[in-house]
Amino acid sequence: MSKQDGLIIHFDEEQRNDLIRGNEDNLTFSDALSVSDWEMKQLQVVLISFTGKTIDFISLASKGNRVATAKSRVEFSDLVNLNSVPLDKVERLLEPNTKLHFMRSSGGRGGRIPNKTWTSVLSALKKLRPNKASEIDRLTALKEISRYNLTGEKAEVFLQQREALGAALDIFSGTNQLRKNVLKSWAPKLEEITDRNDDTMEAMLSSSDDGYSFMNGLQARYIQEESAIQHDLFNWEGVRASLHQMGVSRFEQGNRELEIVYANKNSLEHTLGIDLIYYNKSYHSFVLVQYKLMKEKNDKEGYFYRPDEQLEKELKRMNEFHDNYPNSSELLKHEFYRLNSDGFLFKLVPSRGLQAASEKLISGMYIPREYMMFLLGINGPKGEKGGRIISFNNSPRYLTNTEFSSSVNRGWIGSTSYQSDILSAVIASYLETGRAIMVAVEVDTANNSMQPTANASAD
């Protein structure tokens, strides 16, 4: 099948229609279908009709294993509700020579839509549902670029943003399911993808839009226009006006809510990296993680990171903050107990490229501040020529993704008594370093206040 072809599938099941409409947050269902010309496990954008007279959803679909004669299991995910666009309205926007193709494809149980017709149909849907246009473009981009490994400076910046967002989602949910649903639906703008190489399956991620961040490529339902964090937790007055870009996302799970604010004072080409600041109100705990790319690789160590002056400066700032605000307060609540009261860590991430439609985090190294001090000291590991390098092999006491997210989720690691004005000062100082900041705040929605108290007492 041509990369530009599409599918329309007619499910003559009103019960399934009602089930999906009542549970759109699940965004996934599967069925056994006869799609003989569909390449095995190829990601595809499909139109779904439940009436034969309307287009109800547009979604991603992938073909799995055969389950019966001439039938295979097909999983439909990332459903976008088009609110039942009438087929006759779509047909009126098509050219005469494409209308017949579309009617043939939409008849009976559905089928393939050829390249030219498919492009026209998508344009018609975006005209009829302009509020869904960005979501339609996102799904199209996902299908087009999911096979490529994205490279370039912008891809490296986005890779770090992706890792920070994924970590925040794992901490919040306590599992990896939310992260999988969110990350596998991410896609950049299609026009940002250049220099596609079908031999190496690599492509360049590049754009002149400096105000665009990884979070802009998420599902529209997660994107917010305003941040409650900024109003209720941080004093960013005087700082916001100078921020180059901000993005806000909100996630819910039961009676808990996670809001994430991305702030960057610089253009992407001058962004040094990203810091994740995670605040859990229930545990009154802050965790700050700085992300670093492991760009170099050799046969002995695999991927490794070579410490530089920038790391020294950042570690010095962490040490000064830790020394100025030691944890000396009496333990007042069960939730305030920590195995380690130090909330500063680094994550070293192998630079393996960026992929759309992938839900996995990269297996990196979470290194606490004190362990990093050892690694950089005279007793720390050295390379063959005596230089300082950090790798999976020579620095074995790092935390894995699962160990880190689980420890923060349970409140075992993180700060115990930092105040909101102190955290605000940290944010302001890091914005001056050329790094971007992702601030994630987790609250229980039964308590609408996000403001931590300076002297919390037992309930």
CATH of the domain at 112: 3.10.590
Token readout for 443 is 């609250």
Is 155 found in the same domain as 32?
no
For residue 51, give the DSSP letter. S
Q: Which residues of 52-79 are buried (b: 16+ CB within 10 A; e: fewer)?
A: eebbbbbbbbbbeeeeeeeebebebbbb
Task: Classify residue 453: in a domain, yes or no.
Answer: no
Rounded to an integer, what is the distance from CA 193 to the centroid of its chain? 18
Place of tokens 């409409």: 21
- Domain end (from 124, 145, 166): 145
Output the pLDDT for position 208.
Answer: 61
Lowest pLDDT segment from 71-75, 178-182, 429-433, 443-447:
429-433
Task: Classify residue 1: in a domain, yes or no.
Answer: no
- Domain end (from 122, 145, 168): 145
- For the chain, state the CA radius of gyration: 24
Distance CA 325, CA 426 (A): 12
For the range 39-42, what are the long-range contacts, defined as Cβ-Cβ under 8 Å and sequence gap of 24 or more?
39/1, 39/63, 40/72, 42/1
Tell me: pLDDT of 78 over 70: yes
State the pLDDT confidence band at 341, using cuts at 50, 70 and 90: confident
State the pLDDT confidence band at 262, using cuts at 50, 70 and 90: confident
Is 345 found in the same domain as 406?
yes
Number of domains the chain contains: 2
Is 141 found in the same domain as 160?
no
The total of other beta-carbon atoms located within 10 Å of residue 321's CB is 19
Q: Which range scores top for mean pLDDT: 111-120, 221-230, 371-380?
A: 371-380
Which residue range(s) make up the domain with 382? 149-444
Contact 110, 76 (CB under 8 A): no
Tell me: pLDDT of 371 over 60: yes
Is 279 found in the same domain as 252?
yes
Distance CA 118, CA 354 (A): 28
State the pLDDT confidence band at 169, using cuts at 50, 70 and 90: very high
**Strand-pair category, 256-264 with 390-391:** unpaired
Average pLDDT of the segment spanning 352-369: 92
Output the pLDDT for position 418.
Answer: 55
Task: Classify residue 458: in a domain, yes or no.
Answer: no
Is 153 found in the same domain as 135?
no
The total of other beta-carbon atoms located within 10 Å of residue 340's CB is 14
Distance CA 197, CA 99 (A): 34
Is 201 found in the same domain as 112?
no
Task: Classify residue 457: in a domain, yes or no.
Answer: no
Single-letter amino acid code for the residue at 347: K
Is 175 found in the same domain as 91?
no
**pLDDT tens digits for range 175-211:** 898 999 899 889 888 888 999 999 999 999 986 665 6
Count of H-run helices and E-run strands, the chain: 12, 20
Is 70 found in the same domain as 12?
yes
Task: Classify residue 130: in a domain, yes or no.
Answer: yes
Average pLDDT of the segment spanning 128-152: 92
Lowest pLDDT segment from 20-34, 67-81, 261-275:
20-34
Task: Classify residue 455: in a domain, yes or no.
Answer: no
Is 234 found in the same domain as 369?
yes
Which one is predicted more confidently, 405 or 114? 405
Output the pLDDT for position 234.
Answer: 54
Which ranges of 146-287 would DSSP assign to H, the alpha helix?
A: 153-173, 177-183, 228-232
DSSP string, 235-248: --TTTGGG-SEEEE
Bridge-partner residues for 55, per DSSP? 85
Task: Classify residue 132: in a domain, yes or no.
Answer: yes
Distance CA 270, CA 252 (A): 33
Helix (H) or strand (E) holding 320: helix 309-324
**pLDDT tens digits for range 170-180:** 999 998 989 99
Average pLDDT of the chain to the nearest whole number: 81
Contact 261, 246 (CB under 8 A): yes
Task: Classify residue 454: in a domain, yes or no.
Answer: no
Token readout for 285 is 């705990």
Q: Which residues of 4-16 are buried (b: 16+ CB within 10 A; e: fewer)?
A: ebbbbbbbeeeee
Lowest pLDDT segment from 37-46, 282-291, 362-371:
37-46
Token readout for 65 is 């294993």
Is 124 found in the same domain as 162?
no
Is 402 found in the same domain as 331?
yes
The total of other beta-carbon atoms located within 10 Å of residue 382's CB is 12
Helix (H, G, I), strand (E, B) or coil at 112: strand
Residue 209 to residues 188, 199, 353, Cα–Cα distance (Å):
12, 28, 20
- Domain end (from 100, 125, 145): 145
Is 376 found in the same domain as 272?
yes
**pLDDT tens digits for range 6-52:** 888 887 665 566 656 555 555 677 777 776 656 656 788 999 888 88
Backbone angles phi, psi at 188, to 5 degrees: -80, 175
Distance CA 120, CA 90 (A): 9
Helix (H, G, I), strand (E, B) or coil at 132: helix
